[in-house]
Amino acid sequence: MDLRSDTLTQPTEQMRQAMARAEVGDDVYGEDPTVVRLEERAAELLGQEAALFCASGSLANLLGLWLLAGPGREVLCDAQAHIVRAELGAHALLHGITTRTWDSPDGVVEVERVAALAADPSPHLMSTAAVELENTHNFGGGTVQPVETVRRIASWCAEHGLGLHLDGARLGNAAVAAGQPLAAWAGLATTVTFCLSKGLGAPIGSLLASSRDNVERARVQRKRLGAGWRQAGLMAAGGLWALEHNLERLADDHANARLLAQTVAERAPWAAPADVPTNIVVFNSGPHQASLIAAQAAAEGVKLSVLGPDLIRAVTHLGVEAEQCRRAGAILGRLLAQAPTA
């Protein structure tokens, strides 16, 4: 049972068939018809004018923030945001963008916290160009940024002339959990990214969506970074199939994550979170026990991620069934119950 990430999903047989039959062209020329259909469908679902198919969420985020902030400008975001913790400093290294962060234990923030950090243009201080939000919040435990919260932050950004970037890698999980359409959040952002290769199960790809002008600028920068691709319709067909068939099934992953947490709580209640909003579960391992317990679990056939010295992450996804989560929870719960808590 590999619960390290929902990036480990495998394409289904139906998805493979759709990919094998895909009509393709040269995407650098804008002539791959399957890519065009994917981009148009994604833009429609996300409430934006246009979209750009990218190889990864990190690339899509890199382009989205580049559109909003240039060298010597800053982006405000959560201290545990994927863009600052898990994208290898690319925004600073490649585009000269710095970040200033707020702290929140679950990744959910209110507009007042954001406003307190913003800086006006000055000869002395780094000026704020944009705000970045993540939905769902990966390292916060799959938490959902409420639509009304994002709406308030979007309004504040517009009032102050700032861009709003939404890292919506798992926005599908947020939409299913909250019973809202993707556009309820995505339509509020200046730029938004959306991943096809996590819970939706496509083998590769993320989308950047924004205005038509922004997407055309991003298309040029994508090529400049060496990330233009040719007959990408083979991959786009998998993403299209995922969009049309795998969004609603994310609810199964959420139920399995709750089952996993509940099973662990039966044996080690102190370790399990009280709430599991989507498909990510972060467990307290006890002081400096995370690496040891993850290694012990792996030896018994359960692969987990280590987020820090005291934290273990499990992510449910396509291909992981309820009975597997029950067995994984029993193994992890037993190991945690045996671990020192102080």
Cβ–Cβ < 8 Å for 254, 276 = yes
- CB atoms < 10 A from the CB of 37, how many? 17
Cβ–Cβ < 8 Å for 293, 336 = yes
| pTM of the full structure | 0.96
* Strand 50-54 versus strand 206-210 pairing type: antiparallel
Crossing angle for the helix pair 250-267 and 171-178, to the nearest 10 degrees: 80
Measured CA to CA in angstroms, residue 143 lies from 131, 146, 260, 274 at distances of 18, 9, 17, 12
- Res. 32 pLDDT band, cuts 50 70 90: very high
Q: Give the mean model confidence (pLDDT) for residues 245-264.
A: 97
Cβ–Cβ < 8 Å for 9, 315 = no
* Residue ranges of domains in the chain: 11-245, 250-338
CA distance 192 to 163: 11
Cβ–Cβ < 8 Å for 5, 225 = no
| Tens digits of residue pLDDT in 208-221 | 999 999 999 999 99
| Tens digits of residue pLDDT in 109-157 | 999 999 999 988 788 888 999 999 999 999 999 999 999 999 999 999 9
Is 11-245 assigned to CATH 3.40.640.10?
yes
The CATH number corresponding to 250-338 among 3.90.1150.10, 3.40.50.300, 3.60.70.12, 3.40.50.2300 equals: 3.90.1150.10
Query: Can you count the helices (H) and strands (E) in the chain?
Result: 14, 10
- CB atoms < 10 A from the CB of 245, how many? 15
pLDDT(192) > 80: yes
Least confident of 60-64, 68-72, 187-191, 312-316: 68-72
Q: Give the mean model confidence (pLDDT) for residues 259-278.
A: 96
| Tens digits of residue pLDDT in 285-325 | 989 999 999 999 999 999 999 999 999 999 999 999 999 99
- CB atoms < 10 A from the CB of 323, how many? 10
Least confident of 85-99, 119-133, 167-181, 248-262: 119-133
Least confident of 80-84, 104-108, 135-139, 221-225: 104-108
Residue type, 269: P
